[in-house]
Amino acid sequence: MLALASVAAAPVQQTAEQSGGNPLIAIGAFLLMLGLLVVIHELGHFLTAVWLGIKVDEFGIGFPPRALTLFERNGVKYTLNWLPLGGFVRFAQNGDGASDPLYGAGGTLAAAPPWRRIIVMVAGPLMNLLLAMLIFAVLFGTLGVPTPTGQAISQVFPDTPAEQAGFRPGDELRALDGRSVEDPAVIGQVARANSGRPVTATVLRDGEEVALVVVPGPWTSPEGKSFESGFGFSYGPRLEQVQVGPLAAAWRGVTYSLELTGRMVQALAGLPASILGLFSPEPSPDGGPIGPVGIARATGEVIQQPGGFAAFWNLAAVLSLNLFLLNLLPIPALDGSHIIFALVEWLRGGKKVPPEKEALVHAIGFAALMGLMVLITVNDVLNAIRGLPVLGGS
């Protein structure tokens, strides 16, 4: 698994607080989260291998050195190891070399038909997807489903149509020209369609609805940016937690996980630029890649703020989706690369890629990943020294 992620929006609002906090709590929460995500991932590999009749020697919690063997069943050792960083599956080998915790070296997994190997390797990331769906479903079931009711106005700029109409910071815009503004795109559409013509706006102010008349038109921001037609206020969604039943919460957990994964796929297009930005002397932008240090800091930020318990599980679900997606990428040494090699073998009618060539690709890929991880870790440490929160906010 790749301990690299980018934090995305999720049901529980996450705003970092610039407080010292207890680093031991942050470290403990991070190890708990990482351990859960990795163990669930490896459990997918393990259960699928057993189901397909592929021999497994060991299922380990934590990484070696081994602390103790919990028990042994059906030839599988269940072990507890000293490094609390997740877990691993050690597949059986044929005795001709050291085994790799994922793929084996001459072991029964490597000897299995390609379609079986693909299923085993897909199962690990898939478990991360299912875990995220479960966490989101529980959060939606207990906290409610965040439902937009309107747009919260945070700023009203001077000498703009919004100021002239009487808008105030703190107003909640509910409707424009008779149209609901739950979708923020409606605001721009109404402005462009009614430039120079008065429209009615409905805002919620101090618990009461107020009708305002505003004439969208040209305005200039304090930074000097000009707009041909608009209102002159900044806004963001106002969400209300709506309680739903268990089935609706479960379904929302599924659909939200898929929506968030889709946004992560779109964000991958900007990943190369984000990685190149690590070489810049400027602080990393929000949403950039973070490594173990960044993930640990993010965990500490959410666990030690009000509502930290829910925010912790929210972050765990987001990171689980990251791991689902990243581990399916065709990056050497990750699940996606092993899937590609199995597909190549399948398309070649069972003719394997020479083991030494495959091993070389994985070795080079692993070295590149470790180099990238070092770079990201250095960037995480620099951001920590600068006092920049991982999740944004102030």
Instruction: Give CA–CA dist 365/360, Å, rounded.
Output: 8
Instruction: Report which of 93, 36, 118 is spatially closest to residue 295, judged by C-alpha positions.
Output: 36
- What is the C-alpha separation between 369 and 283, in angstroms, rounded? 22
> What string of DSSP letters covers 41-52?
HHHHHHHHHHHT
Q: Does 228 qualify as catalytic in the annotation?
A: no
Note whether 95 and 123 are within 8 A (CB). Answer: no
Listed residue (10, 16, 11) closest to 241, CA to CA: 11
- DSSP helix/strand/coil, 374: helix
Which residue among the candidates 17, 42, 172, 356 is catalytic per the annotation? Answer: 42
Does 169 sit behind a cis peptide bond, omega within 30 degrees of 0 on the bond before it? no
b/e string for 346-360 if b means 16 or more Cβ within 10 A? eeeeeeeeeeeebee
Rounded to whole angstroms, the Cα distance separating 85 from 248 reads 34
Give the chain's length: 394
Which residues are tagged catalytic? 42
